[in-house]
C-alpha cells in the first residue's frame, strides 16, 4: 500500500475527552474515529490490526480442533426468557421489537442457542467432545461507554463453546483451551495473568479471567508470592506483602457444567444408553478490547510500537526526496515491489509531505520495521534500517539483503 | 478436515415449509439451520462458502484500489432523520432505543455516515477519487421473510462507496466497478445480466442491477434482441418477441451524485479553490443471497454442484472400507496429508457410516472433485477420480499424479 492512496488520517493534538493513552493513540494514529458514544468507525489501519488478531485466534483455535460456525446476532427472546437471563442481564441487553411486536435480543453471548443447537443436532456421546467457536460483532448497552473501544457498545468477540458427555471431559478441554489462550496472548506480546474469577451471570463453578497489565485497566489483581487473584474490594483479605495492579480483562473462560443443558433439556445418550445432560464450557476473547490492551503495553511518548504479528504493516519505507530524486524513487519502487512479491505487508511513504511529518507519523502509527532511503547511503547500495522500538539505533544494510533480513525476522 | 470430526449434518427428507430448491439444499446439505423466521445459523460448510465468496470480493475490490473499512451497525438516528430515510425505509429499518431512550438504527446501508465521514476527513479534490468498502452483517425487518437466506432479516453484504470531485470522475469509477462486479460474478460461475434499474430509496439517476437467472427469483427481466431490461408489470410496454425470465438480484450499483453531500453539506475544495459538493457512487453485493443464486444455478436432483472457487472443500476423498482395510486407510491418510501440505482444501470421509450414505452425502454436499480409494484400483497404484458434475464419468489416475492433477485444475 502507498500512503498517498491510503486513508492515513493522523492527528497531532490529544483529542478532547480522552483520558487514557490507548484511546488517544488509536484516534491520533488513525485506527478509529468516534461515531457516537461507545460507537467507533474502524479506519483501514485499525481494520488491519483486527484482521491480524483474528488470524492468530483462528490459527490457535483450529490447532485445538475447534470448529468455526456463525450464529445470528438477532435472536428471539424465548430461550433468554427460559434461562431468565433476559432479566439478569438487565438494561445492558439490547432488545428489538419487530414489526409484529415480537421481542428479540442482540446477543452479547450465546450459551442458550449453542446448547439448543447441540440438543437438536447431537444425540450420542460418540460425537462429543466438540468445540464450536465464532468471531462476531456483539452489542451491549453500556451505562457509561468510556475509554474508547475498551468499553464500547458495539465490539468484536471470539466466543467458543465446548460440549461434553462428562465433567472429566469438560475439565480436560478446559485445560487445553486455557493453554491455547496463553499461546494466543503470548503471540500478541501481552503481559498478562490468568486469575480465578467469579462466574457472574454466565454461570458455573470454575472460571478464569485473563488480565493484561495496564495502569488504565478497570480491574485489579493481587499479586503475592504464592498466588495471583482478582481483587474485589469488599470481599478480600490479603497478605501485606502483596501488590495490587490494574488490569484489562481480555479473556474469560468458564466451566459452566449443566446449567444450560438443564434449562434447555439438552441430553445425549451416554455409553450405557442413558439420556444425560450435556456439560458446557464457554470461552471468550474480547478482540477489539485486546487492541487497547496491546497499545497500553506497547507505546512510547511518540506513538504506538506494534508487536510484529499485530502491526497493520510489517515494513514502512520512508524515501527522502521521493518526489524530486529519480534515483530514490526508482529504488523505493523496486523495493516496494520486491516486498510485495515476497508477501511482506509493506507501506510506502510516498505522500507529498514534509519529511518531518513523515517521521512524526511513522512514530505515531508504529510499523515495527522502518527502511529509510536517502542519497547518503544509496550511493553505497545500502539503506538505513531501524526498528520502531529503537528508532535511534540505525543499521546500514545492503539493498540486496534487506528483503531476506526482514523475512528472517518473521521466521523467528 | 475429517468428516468424523466435522459438523456435517445432512438431512434426507425435504424439510417442511421450504418451497425453493436452494433453500431445501442449503438445509439438507448442512449449510444452514433455521433459528427463527428469517434468521439462520451458519454451519461450518456454510461459513466456508461465505468465506470463499468474501475472498473473491476482497481480491477484486482491492484490484480496483478500493480500501476496506468498518462502520458501526448501530448508528444514532440523527443523520437518518436529516436524510429523511428514517421515514422512507419505514418498518424495514430496525430501530433500537438505548437505556437513555435515545433512538438508534441497525444500518441496512451507509450513504449517510460514509458521506459524513468524508466530510470530516477529506478537504481537497487532491484526495479524490476514493473507493471505500466493507463487508458487514446487516439487518432488515422483512414483512415476510422467505426462501431461506434469499430474503432474511440478518444477512451479509458488501457495500462500497466512491467519492468524487466531479460527475465525470464518478462515471469513470462507476464503469470500473461495473466491470469488477462482472468479474466477481463470473468467477462464481453465475449466469447473470446487468440491467438498468430504478434507484428507489437510495437515490440518483443512473443505476444498474445485477440479476442472476433463476426460476425461483422474485424479480423479472425482459430479454429482447436489442436489450435486457427490468420488468415492472404496471409500467412497461415490450416487443412480443421478448421473453421474460425470473431472476435474483445479487448486486446493485448507483450513481447517486450530490443527494447526500447536499443533505450533509459535504464539500471539498476544487482545483480553483472553491467549495463544491462531493459526488457519491454506491455499490452493493448481497453475499449471503449470492449463495442461494449459485445453488439455484448449480445443482442436480442429487444435490449441490459447487463451482470450484466457491466449494467448501476442493477435494473429497472417499475410501471404501476405511475402518477395516489397513492398506486403504494408509493410502487415504497419506493422500490427505499430501493434499494439506499442498494447501488444497481437503475433506476425508472417515465416518463409520455405510458406503451408500457416504456417496449420498457426497452428492448432496457437492464438493467438485471426488477421489475414491478402493481395493480394485490401489493394487495398480491408482485411484478413481470423478467430478461432482459428471459422477458417472470415472477416470483412473495414478496415486502419484493425483495431487498435481488437482493443482493443475485450479491453475486454469
Per-residue pLDDT of chain B in tens (412 residues, 90 and over written 9): 999 999 999 999 999 999 999 999 999 999 999 999 999 999 999 999 999 999 999 999 999 999 999 999 999 999 999 999 999 999 999 999 999 999 999 999 999 999 999 999 999 999 999 999 999 999 999 988 888 898 899 999 999 999 999 999 999 999 999 999 999 999 999 999 999 887 676 667 789 999 999 999 989 998 887 788 888 765 556 666 788 999 999 999 999 999 999 999 999 999 999 999 999 999 999 999 999 999 999 999 999 999 999 999 999 999 999 888 899 999 999 999 999 999 999 999 999 999 999 999 999 999 999 999 999 999 999 999 999 999 999 999 999 999 999 999 998 7
Q: From the centroid of its chain, how far is CA A379?
A: 43
Q: Is residue B309 part of a domain?
A: no
Grid coordinates standing for A8?
492515513
Please judge whether B96 and A96 are an interchain contact, meaning their C-beta atoms are less than 8 angstroms apart. Answer: yes
Burial of A212 (0-12, 13-18, 19+ CB in 10 A): buried
Q: With an 8 Å Cβ cutoff, is A65 touching chain B?
A: yes
Give me the residue from A67, A137, A139 closest to B44, CB to CB: A67
Give the alpha-carbon dihedral of B224, B229, B230, B236, to 10 degrees. -70
Q: With an 8 Å Cβ cutoff, is A146 touching chain B?
A: no
**Domain stop point among B251, B271, B300:** B300
Give me the residue from A71, A73, A141 closest to B99, CB to CB: A141
Long-range contacts of B88-96 (CB under 8 A, 24+ apart): B88/B201, B89/B201, B91/A99, B91/B141, B91/B143, B92/B140, B92/B141, B92/B142, B92/B143, B93/B140, B93/B141, B94/A96, B94/A98, B94/B139, B94/B140, B94/B141, B95/A96, B96/A94, B96/A95, B96/A96, B96/A106
Residues in chain A within 8 Å Cβ distance of B117: 33, 41
Q: Is residue A128 part of a domain?
A: yes
Task: Quote the pLDDT of residue B233.
Answer: 63
From CA A25, how far away is CA B95, in angstroms rounded? Answer: 32
Nearest to A339, CA basis, from A412, A410, A389, A387: A410
Judge if the upstream peptide bond of residue B295 is cis by omega within 30 degrees of 0. no
Please judge whether A69 and B7 are an interchain contact, meaning their C-beta atoms are less than 8 angstroms apart. Answer: yes
Please judge whether A44 and B74 are an interchain contact, meaning their C-beta atoms are less than 8 angstroms apart. Answer: no
Side-chain-side CA neighbours of residue B300 (13 Å): 10
Same domain, A294 and A364: no
From CA A10, how far away is CA A38, in angstroms rounded? Answer: 21
Length of chain A: 412
**Domain stop point among A269, A300, A331:** A300
From CA B392, how far away is CA A205, in angstroms rounded? Answer: 56
Please judge whether B98 and A96 are an interchain contact, meaning their C-beta atoms are less than 8 angstroms apart. Answer: no
Same domain, A292 and A322: no
Q: What is the CATH number of the domain that holds A366?
A: 3.40.50.800
From CA A336, how far away is CA A314, in angstroms rounded? Answer: 12
Same domain, A141 and A274: yes
Same domain, B243 and B201: yes
| 3-class DSSP assignment, residue A160 | strand
Q: With an 8 Å Cβ cutoff, is A160 touching chain B?
A: no
Burial of A353 (0-12, 13-18, 19+ CB in 10 A): middle
Please judge whether B36 and A76 are an interchain contact, meaning their C-beta atoms are less than 8 angstroms apart. Answer: yes
Pairing of strands B219-223, B154-164: unpaired
End-to-end distance of chain B based on CA atoms, in angstroms?
25
Q: Provide the b/e sequence for B360-386 (b: ≥16 CB within 10 Å).
A: bbbbbbbbbbbbbbbeebbeeebbbbb
| Chain B contacts in chain A segment 22-61 (CB below 8 A) | 33, 35-36, 39-44, 46-47, 50
Q: Is residue A3 part of a domain?
A: no
Q: How many CB atoms lie within 10 A of CB A20?
A: 19
Give me the residue from B5, B94, B143 closest to A96, CB to CB: B94
Nearest to B128, CA basis, from B163, B104, B93: B163
Same domain, B109 and B156: yes
Give the alpha-carbon dihedral of A249, A254, A259, A263, to 10 degrees. 60
Total structural domains within chain B: 2
| Minimal C-alpha gap between A271 and chain B (Å) | 17
From CA A10, how far away is CA A3, in angstroms rounded? Answer: 12
Task: Quote the pLDDT of residue A202.
Answer: 65
Residue matched to cell numbers 420488468: B231
Residue matched to cell numbers 430515510: B85
Please judge whether B130 and A65 are an interchain contact, meaning their C-beta atoms are less than 8 angstroms apart. Answer: no
Residue matched to cell numbers 422474485: B218
| Minimal C-alpha gap between A170 and chain B (Å) | 17
Range of the domain at A80: 9-300
Q: pLDDT tens track of chain A, all 412 residues?
A: 999 999 999 999 999 999 999 999 999 999 999 999 999 999 999 999 999 999 999 999 999 999 999 999 999 999 999 999 999 999 999 999 999 999 999 999 999 999 999 999 999 999 999 999 999 999 999 988 888 898 899 999 999 999 999 999 999 999 999 999 999 999 999 999 999 887 676 667 789 999 999 999 989 998 887 788 888 765 556 666 788 999 999 999 999 999 999 999 999 999 999 999 999 999 999 999 999 999 999 999 999 999 999 999 999 999 999 888 899 999 999 999 999 999 999 999 999 999 999 999 999 999 999 999 999 999 999 999 999 999 999 999 999 999 999 999 998 7
Angle formed by the axes of helices B21-28 and B287-297, to 10°? Answer: 100
Same domain, B263 and B338: no
Same domain, B107 and B188: yes
Please judge whether B130 and A7 are an interchain contact, meaning their C-beta atoms are less than 8 angstroms apart. Answer: yes
**Domain stop point among A275, A300, A325:** A300
Give me the residue from B35, B70, B130 closest to A42, CB to CB: B70
- Residues B5-17: tens digit of each pLDDT: 999 999 999 999 9
Same domain, B264 and B324: no
Show Cβ contacts of residue A402 under 8 Å, excluding neighbours closer than 6 positions: A335, A371, A383, A385
Give me the residue from A47, A70, A139 closest to B69, CB to CB: A47
Task: Quote the pLDDT of residue B235.
Answer: 57
Task: Quote the pLDDT of residue A235.
Answer: 57
Residue of B10, B39, B52 to mutate for A, most A C-beta atoms under 10 A: B39
Q: With an 8 Å Cβ cutoff, is B74 touching chain A?
A: yes
Q: What is the CATH number of the domain that holds B120?
A: 3.30.930.10
From CA A133, how far away is CA A109, in angstroms rounded? Answer: 12
Give me the residue from B40, B43, B121 closest to A9, CB to CB: B121
| 3-class DSSP assignment, residue A12 | coil
Q: With an 8 Å Cβ cutoff, is A15 touching chain B?
A: no
Show Cβ contacts of residue A90 under 8 Å, excluding neighbours closer than 6 positions: none
| Chain B contacts in chain A segment 257-296 (CB below 8 A) | none
Residues in chain B within 8 Å Cβ distance of A130: 7
Beta bridge partners of A160: A133, A283
- Residues A187-241: tens digit of each pLDDT: 999 999 999 887 676 667 789 999 999 999 989 998 887 788 888 765 556 666 7
Same domain, A183 and A213: yes
Q: How many CB atoms lie within 10 A of CB A229?
A: 18
Residue matched to cell numbers 459447487: B306
Residues in chain A within 8 Å Cβ distance of B91: 99
The interface pTM score, or ipTM, of the predicted complex is: 0.94
| Chain B contacts in chain A segment 121-140 (CB below 8 A) | 121, 130, 132, 137, 139
Please judge whether A69 and B43 are an interchain contact, meaning their C-beta atoms are less than 8 angstroms apart. Answer: yes
| Minimal C-alpha gap between A98 and chain B (Å) | 7
Burial of B206 (0-12, 13-18, 19+ CB in 10 A): middle
Q: Is residue B196 part of a domain?
A: yes
From CA B22, how far away is CA B296, in angstroms rounded? Answer: 5
Q: Is residue B55 part of a domain?
A: yes
Same domain, B326 and B295: no
Reported in sequence order, the residue ranges of A12-98 that DSSP labels E, i.e. its strands, are: 32-36, 39-42, 67-68, 74-76, 94-97
Task: Quote the pLDDT of residue A189.
Answer: 98
Task: Quote the pLDDT of residue B9.
Answer: 92
Residues in chain B within 8 Å Cβ distance of A33: 117, 120-121
| Minimal C-alpha gap between A39 and chain B (Å) | 6
Q: Is residue B1 part of a domain?
A: no
Task: Quote the pLDDT of residue B236.
Answer: 59
Same domain, A227 and A321: no
Q: Is residue A151 part of a domain?
A: yes
Alpha-helix residue ranges (DSSP H) falling in B122-245: 167-187
Nearest to B11, CA basis, from B53, B59, B57, B43: B43
Q: How many CB atoms lie within 10 A of CB B243?
A: 9
Q: Is residue A308 part of a domain?
A: no
User: Which chain B residue is nearest to residue A37, measuring alpha carbons?
Assistant: B76
From CA B258, how far away is CA B175, in angstroms rounded? Answer: 18
Radius of gyration of chain A (CA): 24
Task: Quote the pLDDT of residue A95.
Answer: 96
CB-CB contact of A92 with A201 (8 Å): no
Same domain, A282 and A349: no
Residues in chain B within 8 Å Cβ distance of A98: 94, 141, 153
Beta carbon pairs, A and B, within 8 Å: 116
Grid coordinates standing for B152?
432474511
Please judge whether B39 and A7 are an interchain contact, meaning their C-beta atoms are less than 8 angstroms apart. Answer: no
Task: Quote the pLDDT of residue A239.
Answer: 65
Residue of A2, A6, A41 to mutate for B, most B C-beta atoms under 10 A: A41
From CA A45, how far away is CA B57, in angstroms rounded? Answer: 19
Amino acid at each position: 500500500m502507498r500512503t498517498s492512496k491510503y486513508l492515513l488520517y493522523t492527528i497531532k493534538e490529544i483529542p478532547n475527552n480522552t483520558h487514557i493513552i490507548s484511546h488517544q493513540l488509536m484516534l491520533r494514529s488513525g485506527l478509529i474515529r468516534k461515531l457516537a458514544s461507545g460507537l467507533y468507525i474502524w479506519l483501514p489501519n485499525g481494520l488491519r490490526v483486527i484482521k491480524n488478531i483474528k488470524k492468530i485466534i483462528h490459527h490457535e483455535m483450529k490447532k485445538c480442533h475447534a470448529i468455526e460456525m456463525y450464529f445470528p446476532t438477532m435472536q428471539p427472546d424465548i430461550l433468554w426468557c427460559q434461562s431468565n437471563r433476559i432479566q439478569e442481564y438487565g438494561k445492558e441487553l439490547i432488545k428489538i421489537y419487530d414489526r409484529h411486536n415480537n421481542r428479540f435480543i442482540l446477543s452479547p453471548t450465546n450459551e442458550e442457542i449453542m446448547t439448543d443447537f447441540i440438543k437438536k443436532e447431537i444425540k450420542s456421546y460418540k460425537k462429543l467432545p466438540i468445540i464450536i467457536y465464532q468471531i462476531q460483532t456483539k452489542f451491549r448497552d453500556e451505562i457509561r461507554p468510556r475509554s474508547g473501544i475498551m468499553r464500547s457498545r458495539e465490539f468484536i468477540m471470539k466466543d467458543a463453546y465446548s460440549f461434553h458427555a462428562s465433567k472429566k471431559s469438560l475439565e480436560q478441554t478446559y485445560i487445553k483451551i486455557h493453554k491455547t489462550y496463553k499461546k494466543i496472548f503470548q503471540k500478541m506480546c501481552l503481559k498478562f495473568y490468568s486469575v480465578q474469577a467469579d462466574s457472574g451471570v454466565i454461570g458455573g463453578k470454575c472460571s478464569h479471567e485473563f488480565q493484561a497489565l495496564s495502569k488504565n485497566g478497570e480491574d485489579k489483581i493481587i499479586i503475592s508470592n504464592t498466588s495471583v487473584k482478582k481483587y474485589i474490594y469488599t470481599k478480600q483479605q490479603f497478605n501485606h506483602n502483596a501488590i495490587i495492579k490494574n488490569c484489562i480483562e481480555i479473556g474469560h473462560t468458564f466451566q459452566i457444567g449443566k446449567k444450560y443443558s438443564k434449562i434447555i433439556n439438552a441430553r445425549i445418550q451416554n455409553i450405557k444408553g442413558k439420556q444425560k445432560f450435556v456439560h458446557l464450557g464457554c470461552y471468550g476473547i474480547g478482540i477489539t478490547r485486546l487492541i487497547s490492551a496491546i497499545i497500553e503495553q506497547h507505546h512510547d511518548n511518540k506513538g504506538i510500537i506494534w508487536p510484529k504479528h499485530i502491526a497493520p504493516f510489517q515494513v514502512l519505507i520512508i524515501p527522502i526526496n521521493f518526489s524530486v530524486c529519480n534515483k530514490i524513487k526508482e529504488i523505493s519502487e523496486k523495493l516496494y515491489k520486491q516486498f510485495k512479491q515476497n508477501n511482506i505487508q509493506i507501506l510506502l511513504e510516498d505522500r507529498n509531505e514534509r519529511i518531518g511529518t513523515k517521521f512524526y507519523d511513522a512514530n505515531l502509527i508504529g510499523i515495527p520495521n522502518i527502511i529509510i532511503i536517502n542519497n547518503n547511503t544509496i550511493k553505497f547500495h545500502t539503506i538505513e534500517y531501524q526498528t520502531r522500538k529503537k528508532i535511534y539505533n540505525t543499521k546500514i544494510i545492503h539493498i540486496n539483503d534487506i528483503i531476506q533480513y526482514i523475512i528472517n525476522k518473521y521466521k523467528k
